[in-house]
Amino acid sequence: MHSLGSLLLFLILTFAGSSLVYSQAANACTDFADTIKATYNFRPALLANESERTKKSTAMDKVWTAVKAKPDALLPCLRQALQEPGADPWFLFDGSNLLVSIDPSEASKRLQIKNYAATNLEDVDLRVWVGILARLGAEGFDVSVPGERWLAHPKAVYYLPEHGAFKVDKLLGGIFIFGSMEEAQATPALLKIAGSTEHPGREQAVSLLLMQATPEAIDGLKKANLVKLSSEAQSALRKHLTQPILIESRAKPKTSREQFLKAFNGAIGGDWSYFLQLVSEVPDGEKDVVATLKTEDVPLVRKLRRLMIARANQHAAEFYVSFTQILMTMIWRPEMAK
């Protein structure tokens, strides 16, 4: 009896202790939720002056500092707040960035992608928004839902100050987002948009599908609903599907397949030095790429192209165009024109 009584007492005390811990955690999340509501109760685009922006920025900094100081206690609360129905759109953006900065796990990044699609694009720094999605796309995540939001956004434009105020318009931003994704993810999403006669980003979706340079995208475009597509877009589409711009291979290549494979694999591994050396030595090296690489090298070329465009700048866009022509040359067969 004595041992049974001790066991019961132990269980009671243990249950009471765990209940207290749970209660404290619940209270912490309740307090944190109240802080979130008090802090994220505004739209950045509507702040009237610098004083208001500074005040709100200071309040948000306090939220970031608190979570970083006590991640074990507050990270679960942050994750919970980011999944609450009706959460503030600006909080979804800023809070998701905070979450991934502390816990860059797959689950956190998937939640970030979901919340990026739900935020108000007029309030966010579009350069940051697009850039993060492009990097996530290159990591293998499906970012097509926020990508569709971008193509539908009436003010889809921003500038890159370090590149001479280079303009990123709807199409180029779409290249950054959808071009960073695996083609098997991007193509179905783009075909859906291209087939929607009322979607404002429809023609950009058609252009992005042409840049996919895959048999699936080409076949899908042939079957796509072209009603209400502009005559110019239909003309360009027909020309590309029947007579795409291909690269003429060099009869006597200046660079070997082995050199390209070394450069491409090195770049994918994070070392771009040899790749840039080849570009410098042979500026028209694409003529050698199509002359030397084999069909089994296509996945490698695609992966490199995705990593390039994930940098989301004008130099990445230039390389993307070159590698798109390379890929089209490598996959094109005369029967595709039928």
Q: Summarize the confidence of residues 100-121 as an average pLDDT.
A: 98
SS3 328: helix
Is residue 324, in this structure, part of any structural domain at all? yes
**Would you state the pLDDT for residue 304?**
98
Is residue 196 in a domain? Answer: no
* Token digits of residue 168: 């990123």
| End position of a domain, from candidates 108, 124, 140 | 124
Q: Does 91 reside within a domain?
A: yes
Rounded to two decimals, what is the model's pTM? Answer: 0.90
Name the residue range of residue 103's domain. 16-124
- Domain-ending residue, one of 124, 144, 177: 124
Residue 158 domain flag: no
Mean pLDDT lowest for which of 20-24, 110-114, 159-163, 280-284? 20-24
Question: Does residue 46 fall inside a structural domain?
Answer: yes
- The pLDDT confidence band at residue 56, using thresholds 50, 70 and 90, is very high
Q: Which of 99-103, 156-160, 222-226, 247-251 has the lowest mean pLDDT?
A: 222-226
Q: Residues 44, 137, 312, 98: what is their CA dihedral angle, to the nearest 10 degrees?
A: 40
pLDDT value at 329 more than 90? yes
* Among 124, 146, 162, residue at a domain's last position: 124
Does a structural domain hold residue 145?
no
Tell me: the pLDDT tens digits for 252-285?
999 999 999 999 999 999 999 999 999 999 999 9
Q: Which residues contact 93 (CB under 8 A, 6 or more apart)?
A: 115, 116, 119, 123, 124, 129
216 falls within a domain: no
The residue behind tokens 């410098």 is 280
pLDDT at 335 over 60: yes
Residue 10 scores a pLDDT above 60 = no
pLDDT at 26 (0 to 100)? 59
Whether residue 200 is contained in a domain is answered as no
- Residues in Cβ contact with 119 at an 8 Å cutoff, skipping those fewer than 6 apart: 89, 90, 92, 93, 129
Domain count, the chain: 2
Q: What does the pLDDT look like over 17-36, one tens digit per residue?
A: 554 444 455 577 999 999 99
pLDDT at 2: 52
With beta carbons less than 8 A apart as the criterion, state whether 136 and 97 touch: no
Distance separating alpha carbons of residues 122 and 115, to the nearest angstrom: 15
- pLDDT confidence of residue 214: 95
- The more confidently predicted of residues 6 and 42 is 42
From the list 168, 222, 160, the residue with the least C-alpha distance to 191 is 222
